[in-house]
Structure 1
């Protein structure tokens, strides 16, 4: 991982789309700092399409798509994308799995839920679970005392033993049934909403993240950036980002935004 200051100006200047995780990427200590939100606004005003790519639930994503300066949002680790059209006042909702299959999967996740709570003392169901459509989120440090790395790995292993997909974020272990992840739904969102083929134009995209569940995005995008707290996961993440910021969370995100915007304005020395 190289410093974000080492991203070549020609690479930063051609960025037209920015995708970013939310928790501990846009936020610091669970709060969205004003500077990070302002950076989203500045990117949008400069013509850079922005979309959060998050593990957070459908209920949150509906609000984000409506109220944030973004083109849309991919939620629950790729279970869906939401995009709100301001002029027509209509929300576009696209899911990876149909309604009937999601209902069936939720029943299976109830059994996984019971097993995790019984076998991993100290964990809890995420407080945002009632607002989810497709996955089960297990809290290991957001609203509970932090669990050890081995306990987090045990939660992930239980999901997998039950035939589910599991991903570890900075605060939750998310599990679901279905062959999708952040990258597959981002590809669909980009094509449908932005008219962008990310496979053919990945050099025009930056993804910003912070944790192991961002690994598919870090691997795919050559200009992927990690905020500084991604360094906590060294050795526990399948693919690392090309660049890393000096600061953590939302303050690190501002570094990425500034690098892109300054390059587009010709203010960065080569």
Structure 2
């Protein structure tokens, strides 16, 4: 099981230069961005620590993050595209050729829509029109109360069909084959920030809250779950190494405080 955050060695924290983090229910709390979280993002930036959200959220939403938040870029749509802010412009970098990914997305959308007929409680996410590579199914964002049983049934069905489907805290995200948060994270860290993965394992902390963060927990030894990940822990093969006391964005702010207290 994950250890308390205070067990994270202070000497290890001195090496951290990057914080990769999920967004929904990791930076946010009950759907909103707490003041403490926004302050933490600015304090990390001022300390020279780069923050990169890694989200299943749509490219349109991620474009806003990259423009208005103090972040070094956004990995969007579960790893389908990286948004790089540079000289006042947002550059889009797709994991594979953009045209091919848009064509494959259309095929995935048709497949998902055919299955949704049998799950009337579930619906395409409201942001589907602003997605460039994947398909998102809402089970706990606009759908209230959350449709957990239907989510699990549809998730199992999609996986049986061989689709790359994962659940976040609000959506089922159906990504293209080979697309994953960790695949794009490796690409971004090595190609845009010139880190070897050996360096990344020492300099990167990853923060998450849901099963679709599991590949990131597996990759990065310095991984942290915010407290609201607790209901999912028994479902995961790869757990976060550490756990905050607070939930969502307040847990992220707790981690930021702890990290900043132990910088040189």
Normalising to structure 1: TM-score of the pair? 0.93
What is the CA deviation profile of residues 237-257 of structure 1, one whole-angstrom value per residue up to 9, with x for unaligned ones? Answer: 231100000000000001111
Structure 2 distance, partners of 1:60, 1:142, is: 15
| Match of residue 83 from structure 1 | 84
| Match of residue 61 from structure 1 | 62
| Match of residue 43 from structure 1 | 44
**Deviating more after overlay: 153-162 vs 119-128:** 153-162
Structure 2 distance, partners of 1:92, 1:191, is: 17
Q: Is the 8 A contact 1:112 1:159 kept in 2?
A: no
**Deviating more after overlay: 216-225 vs 152-161:** 152-161
Q: Is the 8 A contact 1:112 1:158 kept in 2?
A: no
Structure 2 distance, partners of 1:175, 1:104, is: 14
Structure 1 unaligned segments of length 5 or more: list them: 266-270
Structure 2 unaligned segments of length 5 or more: list them: none
Q: Is the 8 A contact 2:78 2:175 kept in 1?
A: no
| Match of residue 200 from structure 2 | 201
| Match of residue 188 from structure 2 | 189
Query: By how many angstroms is 1:109 displaced?
Result: 1.7
What is the CA deviation profile of residues 142-172 of structure 1, one whole-angstrom value per residue up to 9, with x for unaligned ones? Answer: 1112445432222212322333201110000
Structure 2 distance, partners of 1:245, 1:167, is: 24
| Match of residue 53 from structure 2 | 52
Structure 2 distance, partners of 1:59, 1:149, is: 26
**Deviating more after overlay: 246-255 vs 95-104:** 95-104
Query: Is 1:2 aligned with 2:38?
Result: no
**Deviating more after overlay: 232-241 vs 196-205:** 196-205
| Match of residue 15 from structure 1 | 16
Structure 1 distance, partners of 2:17, 2:113, is: 44
Structure 1 distance, partners of 2:5, 2:162, is: 38
Moved over 4 A (4+): none
Structure 2 distance, partners of 1:112, 1:161, is: 13
Query: By how many angstroms is 1:235 displaced?
Result: 1.5
What does 1:113-262 correspond to in 2, within 5 Å? 113-262=112-261
| Match of residue 75 from structure 2 | 74
Query: By how many angstroms is 1:10 displaced?
Result: 0.5
**Deviating more after overlay: 197-206 vs 224-233:** 197-206
Structure 1 distance, partners of 2:97, 2:112, is: 22
Number of aligned pairs? 263
Q: Is the 8 A contact 2:189 2:200 kept in 1?
A: no
Q: Is the 8 A contact 1:123 1:147 kept in 2?
A: no
**Deviating more after overlay: 51-60 vs 231-240:** 231-240
Structure 2 distance, partners of 1:52, 1:171, is: 17
SS in 2 for 1:133: coil
Q: Is the 8 A contact 1:97 1:178 kept in 2?
A: no
SS in 1 for 2:192: helix
Structure 2 distance, partners of 1:227, 1:10, is: 22
Query: By how many angstroms is 1:236 displaced?
Result: 1.5
| Match of residue 268 from structure 1 | none
- CA RMSD of the aligned region, Å? 1.4
